Amino acid sequence: MLDVHFTDQLGQCIELDRVPERIVSLVPSQTELLFDLGLGERVVGVTRYCTEPADRVAQVSKVGGTKKFDFDAISALKPDLIIGNKEENYAEGIERLQQQHPVWMSDIYDLDDALAMIEQIALITGVDMRGNSMCADIRRAFDRLGGKSERRTFAYLIWRKPYMVVGGNNFIHHLLGRAGFVNAFGGFGRYPAVEAADITKARPEVVFLSSEPYPFTAEHVDEFESIAPAARVLLVDGAMCSWYGSRLLRVPEYLQGLCDLVGEPRRGAA
Residue 123 lies in a domain: yes
Residue 35 lies in a domain: yes
Q: What letter would DSSP give residue 174?
A: H
Q: Are 216 and 210 in contact (CB under 8 A)?
A: yes
Q: What is the pLDDT of residue 269?
A: 38
Q: What is the pLDDT of residue 4?
A: 81
Q: What is the pLDDT of residue 149?
A: 63
d(C-alpha 64, C-alpha 217), whole Å: 27
Task: Count how many domains the chain has.
Answer: 2
Q: Provide the residue range defining the domain that includes 134.
A: 4-142
Residue 268 lies in a domain: no
Q: Are 37 and 127 in contact (CB under 8 A)?
A: yes
Q: Domain check: are 12 and 131 in the same one?
A: yes
Q: What is the pLDDT of residue 263?
A: 76
d(C-alpha 219, C-alpha 221), whole Å: 6
Domain-ending residue, one of 142, 161, 182: 142
Q: What is the pLDDT of residue 150?
A: 73
Residues of the chain with pLDDT under 70: 1-3, 147-149, 264-270
Q: Domain check: are 40 and 134 in the same one?
A: yes
Q: What is the pLDDT of residue 145?
A: 86
End-to-end alpha carbon distance in the chain? 69
Reduced to 3 states (helix: H, G, I; strand: E, B; else coil), residue 45 is strand
d(C-alpha 7, C-alpha 52), whole Å: 27
pTM, two decimals, is 0.92
Q: Using omega within 30 degrees of 0 as the cis cutoff, is the peptide bond preceding 229 cis? A: no
Q: What is the pLDDT of residue 80?
A: 95
CATH code of the domain containing 219 = 3.40.50.1980
- pLDDT, one tens digit per residue, over 208-255 is 999 999 999 999 999 999 999 999 999 999 999 999 999 999 999 999
Q: Domain check: are 25 and 130 in the same one?
A: yes
Residue 269 lies in a domain: no
